[in-house]
Chains A and B, each alone.
Chain A
Amino acid sequence: MAGQDTSKDTKKGKEPLPFLRPGLFVAPLSSEETPHLIGSRCKLCGRVFFPKRTVCFDCKHLDTSTMEEVHLSLKGKLHTGLFVHAAPEGFKTPYAIGFIDLPEGVRVFSQLVGENLSDEVLTAGREAEMIIEKIREDEAGNDVVAYKFKVI
């Protein structure tokens, strides 16, 4: 199940489906599979991007075949984490957000979950692992499912 805009087909109470830009992540269809974020690697310089890009920021090569799709690591380290007490509609406050540095050299924004989270424990360097979960509700009240990071 790749992230795509299928919200129009859903009604409240039915199986949650994502309402997101397609091609950001892959959620597992069975318990044998693992989820992952979809990125791009430049074949010329090796730089990795998330979300996937058409052109490398450095090489700016005109041939798009120099970019290849890659699966990003599931685990990374927290760069910043904090609680917000105000948010647009659809998000239940307070909730934690942050940036996670993945080993590929990519920084990803994500909501953060985990046990006993507080501003004090969301310190830089803590390990976090990507999971697929409800991130908010859309305007019609449907659950929106996407990636989050669980602080370990």
Chain B
Amino acid sequence: MREVAVSGVSMTRFGKYMEKGLRELSAEVILGAANDAGIDLKDIQFASVGNSLAGLITGQESVRGQVILKEVGLGGIPVTNVENACATSSTAFFECWMAVASGYCDVALALGVEKLFCGDTARSNAALATCIDVDVEGRMGFSFLGWYAAEARSHMETYGTTQEQMAKVSVKSHKNGSLNPYAQYQKEVSIEEVLSSRPIAWPITLLMCAPIGDGAAAAILTSKDIARRHTSEPITIASSELTSGRILDCRRAESAGALTEMLAKKSYEKSGIGPEDLGVVELHDAFSPAEISIYEDLGLCNRGEGGRLVDEGKTEIGGTIPVNTSGGLAAKGHPVGATGIAMITEIVWQLRGLAGKRQVEPRPKVGLVQNGGGLVAGEYAADAIHILKR
């Protein structure tokens, strides 16, 4: 496998776009990423298009990628349609990495796009509720919420983590979001506001939840040679890892260790990079409490010390290991199929020094993206980790 560069990235601001569809949102970021990479659209040899829920929301199934790419005149190349719940566009990115790393092509487009606002919130929520095993979970009343709440409680009981620490994560996300012109919510909130917002499932309150939203993000992946034509300092992919959840049951779930911890270890082994080398991290805070246990999964601190990391401010932009500088899913927003590449976009901007008011100083050399998706049998259905470096 050869080294692959992330030569161009682009994202729309996440939010509510009643006047734009998948095509319009996508066109903006495809052109943006191509411009950023210094390539022409005709240079693109492979495209992987990630979208999770438009089939249920708009009725457009099966060939969404082709329909979207037609908007910018892209055709006559291999196009794959990818869905993997909240990890959809990380999966598209993984496919493009494989295509370029294997030598199959030199220039690939990874796109993630989602439009959840459709004028009918019940429909959007019903679509989101399909990212689990609908037979024995979804139709029985299970949802992401129940799982995240149960995990949060377990962390509290085992390690003494508090609801205040979980609220502080949301406060940090919203503070970072207020510095990000691409975030859906750009307003700070206080601990009191988070704790007193509507209870969703204890200890989770409304301001700890990622909102529904619309948006798109794209990345152009190229060989390192091509990247060097446009920049003297290419951002390269140190590791690209994707896994599905393991097949666990009650006899094993407790002893198996976290899926993300396993994937992180694999990513660190393959890249030769350790958690101590990371300068910035974007991780999957679909609900704020999850951020604390993911710190531990990624080895940013020891098991059980995630809450303390928050108290000490170490994951704030000025801290030793800034996390979710974009505002995370809670403030930046979470248009499911666009999220993974948007997280990657934030890390690329941080490594290039283009993150504006939320820029980490000194400019980080290495960043990590963790993006989990769906739920099957008590674990993410899909989990992806990308490590990028300059």
Contact = CB atoms under 8 A, between A and B. Distances in A.
Interface in B125-172: 125-126, 128-129, 135-143, 145-146, 149-150, 153-154
B151 to A, nearest CB: 9
Interface string B103-141: 000000000000000000010011011000001111111
Contacts of A106: 249-250
Interface in B349-373: none
B251 interface: yes
A86 B145 contact: yes
B146 A97 contact: yes
Given A84-B200, A85-B198, A85-B199, A107 B250 contact: yes
A110 B140 CA distance: 6
Contact of A109 (B140, B200, B202): B140
A141 interface: no
B247 A57 contact: yes
Contacts of B378: 107
A88 B201 contact: no
A144 interface: yes
Given A107-B249, A135-B141, A84 B201 contact: yes
A82 interface: yes
A21 B141 contact: no
Contacts of B138: 88
B289 to A, nearest CB: 13
B63 interface: no
A49 B129 CA distance: 24
Contact of A82 (B149, B250, B251): B149
A82 B141 contact: no
A105 B251 contact: yes
Nearest to B150: A80
B253 interface: yes
B202 A97 contact: no
Quick one: which of A86, A89, A91, A111 has the most chain B CB within 10 A?
A: A86
A24 interface: yes
A87 interface: yes
Contacts of B128: 88
A95 B149 CA distance: 14
B57 to A, nearest CB: 14
Contacts of B198: 85
Contacts of B149: 82, 84
A82 B143 contact: no
A84 B153 CA distance: 13
A63 interface: no
Contact of B150 (A82, A91, A95, A144): A82
Nearest to A97: B146
A84 B146 contact: yes
Nearest to A102: B250
A80 B249 CA distance: 14
A105 B202 contact: no
A146 interface: yes
Nearest to B122: A89
A37 B126 CA distance: 26
B133 to A, nearest CB: 9
Given A24-B135, A85-B198, A89-B122, A135 B140 contact: yes
Interface string B189-231: 0000000001111100000000000000000000000000000
Per CB-CB distance, the 4 closest pairs between chain A and chain B, nearest first, are A107-B250, A21-B135, A88-B129, A84-B201
